[in-house]
Amino acid sequence: MKKAVDMPAEEEERRRRRRRRRRRRRRRRRRRRRRRRRRRRKRRRRKRMRRRRRRRRRRRRRRRRRRRRRRRRRRRRRWRRRWRRRRRRRRRRRRRRMRRRRRMRRMRRRNRRRRRRRRRRRRRRRRRRRRRRKRRRRRRRRRQRIVSWLVMPVRTAGTTRTSSLFEFGEQVVVDKFSKMGHFIPTHTTACTEERALLFVHYIISQHGIPTTIISDQDPKVTSKFWKELMSLLETKLVMSSAYYPLTNGQTERLNQIVEQLLRAACKDDISKLDLHLPILEFAYDNATHIATRQIPFYCCYGCNPLTPQKPTAPATCEMALPHPSSERTCRSSFHGSFFTKIVHEAITTIPEPYRRVVARLHFVLRTVVTSMWSLHSASPTILLFLR
């Protein structure tokens, strides 16, 4: 009885399986048909693209042939024109040669006369220049007592010591915060190791290891030895770009000041440049700075340095300033430090160079200048009271 009951269930399962198989076959057939259609479409498209390419190639070939023909025609025309031009040029050259020969004969005669005139004029001009130079030399000799350190150039040739003015630009070190500078004397054949020893001796021993160093692209600074030394000291190297000195403008400006100070100090004997450096360094660090309005010594150490005693009694004098040219006399009589404090009517304090001050005071007829010094003063103060 169990077999009779189970038979219809087995038949139903068989029918279901058959139906599933039929459905699968139908799906496969449909997929095959779709694939065939797609392949046919792709073949047709390829054929169309090939036909189009062939047509394009034919058109291009035709165009190229036409262009070649046109170029050939143009070349032939150019050749013909060139040959005609060359013939014309040859004929013109022959005519010009004949004309030039005739002109040259005439010009030679004229040039002889002109040369004689020019020689006479040159002689007269030379005589005038010599007279002018003599006059200028006389005037300079008269003013040499006042402005000798401004006009006389510094000569580096023939010195007995190993120092030159053009080396201090590389060995000038400035503090970014306090504006304090160190002038380190070197020689022309100083290698990177010697400069590193100078750096340790003059800066690290006094102020410690710096965090960053700003310098130019000197080959001794860009060497491997210097970079490895800075990496061991954990200092950051910042180099200025080429033809852009503004990144290291502080030292560039200080180099100009050092040149001016050396010209003023070593006008008599240039071989003693390195001996004047420590004194000039003290004078620079003991003068007020425009940016901080303070002395670099005070910004760095918190106190003013001790200076030699100067006369405490005030000195007054009257000076006539009818023209800006009188700046030289004022500057020669009051050259104490590079920057000065100028008090206008005892109200405002304006630190400026002498030239700008005298240029602004050129309209004043007369002024009274009172200069006062005291013991342990940072820099002499000049007080200008206008009448």
CB of 218 within 8 A of CB of 211?
Answer: no
Residues 365 and 192: their CA atoms lie apart, in Å, by 57
Distance (Å, whole) CA 373 – CA 125? 54
In whole angstroms, give the CA distance from residue 52 to residue 204.
81
DSSP bridge pairs for 383? 343, 370
Among 3.30.420.10, 3.40.50.2300, 3.40.1190.10, 3.40.50.300, what is the CATH number of 165-283?
A: 3.30.420.10
Question: What count of Cα atoms within 13 Å lies in the side-chain half-sphere of residue 275?
Answer: 8
Residue ranges per structural domain of the chain: 91-148, 165-283, 315-386
Q: Which two three-digit tokens encode residue 138?
A: 């006389």
What pLDDT is recorded for position 145? Answer: 36
Q: Containing H/E element for 193? A: helix 192-199
Question: What pLDDT score does 49 carry?
Answer: 93
CB contact at 8 A, 333 and 284: no
Other beta carbons within 10 angstroms of residue 277's beta carbon come to 21
Cα gap 73→67, rounded to integer Å: 10
What is the per-residue pLDDT for 153? 25
**Local confidence pLDDT in tens for the 387 residues of the chain:** 444 545 678 888 888 889 999 999 999 999 999 999 999 999 999 999 999 999 999 999 999 999 999 999 999 999 999 999 999 999 999 999 999 898 898 999 899 999 999 999 999 999 999 888 888 877 766 543 333 222 222 222 223 333 333 333 346 788 888 888 888 888 777 788 888 888 888 888 888 888 888 888 888 888 888 889 888 888 888 888 877 777 778 888 888 888 888 888 887 777 777 788 888 888 888 888 888 888 888 888 888 888 775 544 444 444 444 444 444 444 444 443 333 333 333 333 334 444 454 444 443 333 333 333 333 333 333 333 333
Residue with tokens 């053009």: 166
CB 171 within 8 A of CB 274: no
pTM: 0.40
Q: State phi, psi for 305 to the nearest 5 degrees.
A: -75, 160
